[in-house]
Amino acid sequence: MTAREPRKLPDDPQIRELIQLAQAGRVSRRNVLAGAAGAAGVGALLAACGTGGGGGSGTSATGPTPGTDVSDTEKLVRWANWTFYLDYDDETNSRPTLEAFTDETEIRVEYVEDIEDNDTFYGKVQSQLAQGQDIGFDIITPTDWMAARLIRQGYVQELDHANIPNLDNLVEGLRDVDFDPGRHRSVTWQSGYGLIAWNTELVPNGLNSVSDLWNPELRGRVEVLSEMRDTIGLIMLDQGVDISGDWGDDEFFAALEVVDENIKNGQIRQVRGNSYTEDLISGDAIAVIGWSGDIVALNFDADDKFAYKIVDSGVTLWSDNLMVPIGARHKTNAEKLMNHYYDPEVAAEVAAWVNFITPVEGAREAMEAIDPELMDNELIFPDSDTLAKAHVFRSLTPEEEEKYNGEFLSVIGA
């Protein structure tokens, strides 16, 4: 795989407003658009855990307490992320930006693509987090809505900004999000959106709407995401609902009924998290609700066999975050790694590969030196038409989240 693309947040009030909306409501995770009216580069915009090991801290009357930081004696940091979400060199089987960090700091990084979706990951680690135990990771990468839950439950540690001086490069619109004012427990990793995609060899006529996924000729070879806000969000948009606006049970259940019906009649093959990409590669799935950055990544090894569409009804917009779990034992090392990725040149290198919107000011200028041709990529520097099609799934109350997410998980059999 070759490098892919970077960018930076332009000083456009529309973009900054959209970023704040995405952080406040969020949808699921990845790649994206967020264009600026007439902007030549939309740059960094906003752009989503594992098993445990002993140690950790414990709990107190007020909840779990932070783990003991052994960063001074153990030069290690352990990071759980999603797939296709960090630069990778096929020739050397390495991750250049991680290797650069280790060379500079002598801190070894154990990097694991362990997040299939937010709910599955949370289910694996919640009991340990509640006990203040070390879950085996010092950094996790949840989507905004899950980040809000983790903060609310006291499951992540407060960051020491003195160890992250490059956080000054965080775009202005992301510095004071509603779920984490002042960014004391989270920093944005990337932002992006959910959309429809397909195998161009097996679906030669392509797809023009979310409803096209239910065409009879695709029966048994369609997959949708286990991230409720992306799958339900796209269907609601297709049904004419403003997902960032004032909607309720009627609109939600109308979209859920579409999922339920198409699972029962065999139209939907599986409901998947990040592993839907495996089924696209194998040909078991030929049309999906997926994440655009993944599709771009797959095409590097598939001769552009896969296509995506930003449909007229709209796409979902989201952001993912770097956070330190409550029982993590290498907090300072984790903060140093966060600082590394907020260097504009490093952020640009990552963005050039992952095709997601970077939250780092200055990354767009740095990317121009990597590959100026990428400046025309609509996923990185979308125009005003693309921007108008990006929608953030509105924030849910805890009660709504429990109800809607529970009903969705019940329908998909999770």
**Residue with more model confidence, 306 or 191:** 306
CATH of the domain at 208: 3.40.190.10
In-domain check, residue 199: yes
Q: Please give the average per-residue pLDDT across 107-135, as a whole number.
A: 97
In-domain check, residue 278: yes
End-to-end CA distance of the chain: 34
Exposure string for 353-376, b = 16+ CB within 10 A, e = fewer: bbbbbbbbbbbbbbbbebbeebbe
Strand partners, 102: none
Tokens of 192: 């992006």
Tokens of 234: 């796209």
Q: What per-residue confidence (pLDDT) applies to 380?
A: 64
In-domain check, residue 300: yes
pLDDT at residue 250 is higher than 70:
yes
Q: Which domain holds residue 261?
A: 194-317+396-412
In-domain check, residue 124: no
Instruction: Write out pLDDT tens, residues 8-22.
Output: 333 444 444 444 444
C-beta of residue 78 within 8 angstroms of C-beta of residue 324:
no
pLDDT confidence band for 383 (50 / 70 / 90): low
In-domain check, residue 219: yes
Domain count, the chain: 1
C-beta of residue 55 within 8 angstroms of C-beta of residue 133:
yes
**Residue with more model confidence, 253 or 24:** 253
Q: What per-residue confidence (pLDDT) applies to 8?
A: 34
pLDDT confidence band for 173 (50 / 70 / 90): confident
Instruction: Write out pLDDT tens, residues 340-365.
Output: 999 999 999 998 898 888 888 888 88
In-domain check, residue 200: yes
In-domain check, residue 274: yes
- Helices 13-24 and 144-152: crossing angle, nearest 10°? 50
pLDDT at residue 413 is higher than 50:
yes
Tokens of 306: 């896969």
Closest listed residue to residue 57, CA positions, set 111, 135, 151, 134: 134
Exposure string for 71-101, b = 16+ CB within 10 A, e = fewer: beeeebbbbbbbbbbbbbeeeeeebbbbeeb
In-domain check, residue 237: yes
